[in-house]
Structure 1
Amino acid sequence: MKHFKTLLLVAIFTIGLGGIANAQKTAHINTDLLLSEMPATKAMKSELEKLSKTYRDDIEAMYKKLDAKFKKYDAEGKSQTQEVNQKRAAEVQQDKVRIQKAEQTASQQMQKKYQEKTIPLLKKAEDAIKAVAAEKGIIYVFDASPGKGLIVYDKGENILSAVKAKLGF
């Protein structure tokens, strides 16, 4: 019985120390900061801004064309028949609907392009974080980005610089 108590105490002590050792194998990283500093993210933002400008320019041109048409029809409205004016009003309304659809399509295309470009970046960052964690023997890596749930991270290891090095920047 005496040996059993000693064995039990040693087991509890060992498990307790194992828990402490595991608790020290945690780290944190601000993934928002990592992603914003990745060269591929900067290139993606530049590409998306160009695409957005193209969509804005096209839609702005559609608005200018509609405005010119509206002014022309408004100026000629008194000299036209009511039937012609009704057709023109319907035409202007159809143009407005076309512009709204173009805006919706542009928005959807921008979201789609953003997702297409972001997913590989997230995967690359995640793989680098996992690789650094494996190299350093880290079991848990917490996201220290604002609003991600991690509040206290002063004493844990910040692996941002190691992950940046792993990614080559």
Structure 2
Amino acid sequence: MKLVNLFLIVGLFLISSVATAQDLKFGHVNMQELIMELPEKAEADQKLQAEAKTLQDRMRMMSEEHEKKFRDYIAERETMPELIRTTTEKEIQEIEQRLQNYQNMAQQSLSKKEQELYQPILEKVQQAVDAVGQEQGFIYIFDLSSQVVLYHSDQSVDCGPLVKAKLGLN
């Protein structure tokens, strides 16, 4: 009798776990596609390009200064006294060092600006994905653009349209 009850309990447990497993909902979305469709992304791109152009223009001016100094040095080095030649070579090296430092600082500045501009966009999309996940009862929503998903079946729901609706995109 105890054995029959044990089998009944185990059987009920297995049946309930199978029924629960069938209720699991998985979804997927392509975050890159969603972000590319947002008007905020285009605006952020424009601001980032403007910042990059400003930095490039300044770099070009510094490079032109370096080139002029170097050309003048090459043209006159044979006739320059030793002291002036040495001083000019040091000046050219200092300009090259400034160029290198400026380039490094410009890259850091551009990276910081990029993060500053894109972070609110990423947060907005993540909030929309979270809201869709909660509203639709998904356990997981995978990002297809990250290429982490190893298998994708037809049973996974494409959450892209739901997230687009949440973001106000058509």
TM-score by length of 1: 0.90
Displacement after TM superposition at 1:154 (Å) = 3.6
Structure 1: unaligned runs, 5 residues or longer: none
Which residue number corresponds to residue 93 of structure 1?
93
Which residue number corresponds to residue 136 of structure 1?
136
**What are the equivalent positions in structure 2 for 1:104-143 lying under 5 Å apart?**
104-143=104-143
Distance between the aligned counterparts of 2:76 and 2:39, measured in 1? 56
1:162 aligns with 2:158: no
SS in 1 for 2:23: helix
Contact 1:30 1:143 in 2 (8 A): yes
**What are the equivalent positions in structure 2 for 1:11-22 lying under 5 Å apart?**
11-22=13-24
Letter matched to residue 5 of structure 1: F
Distance between the aligned counterparts of 1:154 and 1:16, measured in 2? 20
Contact 1:28 1:153 in 2 (8 A): no
Displacement after TM superposition at 1:66 (Å) = 1.1
TM-score by length of 2: 0.90
Letter matched to residue 165 of structure 1: A
**What are the equivalent positions in structure 2 for 1:20-99 lying under 5 Å apart?**
20-22=22-24, 25-99=25-99
Structure 1's consecutive aligned runs of 4 or more residues displaced over 6 angstroms after TM superposition are: none
Distance between the aligned counterparts of 1:20 and 1:5, measured in 2? 22
Contact 1:144 1:151 in 2 (8 A): no
Distance between the aligned counterparts of 1:94 and 1:143, measured in 2? 48
Displacement after TM superposition at 1:4 (Å) = 4.5
SS in 1 for 2:28: strand
User: Relative to structure 1, is the Cα distance of residues 78 and 11 closer, same or farther in structure 2, using a 3 angstrom cutoff?
Assistant: closer
Instruction: Count residues in correspondence.
Output: 167
Residue by residue, what CA displacement relative to the aligned partner does 1:83-138 show, whole Å, maximum 9, x if unpaired?
A: 10110010011001001111000000011111122222211111100101111111
Residue by residue, what CA displacement relative to the aligned partner does 1:2-30 show, whole Å, maximum 9, x if unpaired?
A: 445334322321121111111xx110001
Which residue number corresponds to residue 9 of structure 1?
11
Displacement after TM superposition at 1:50 (Å) = 0.9
Distance between the aligned counterparts of 1:164 and 1:91, measured in 2? 57
Contact 1:144 1:150 in 2 (8 A): no
User: Relative to structure 1, is the Cα distance of residues 60 and 154 closer, same or farther in structure 2, using a 3 angstrom cutoff?
Assistant: farther
Letter matched to residue 8 of structure 1: V
Structure 2: unaligned runs, 5 residues or longer: none
Residue by residue, what CA displacement relative to the aligned partner does 1:51-84 show, whole Å, maximum 9, x if unpaired?
A: 1111111101111111112222322333321110
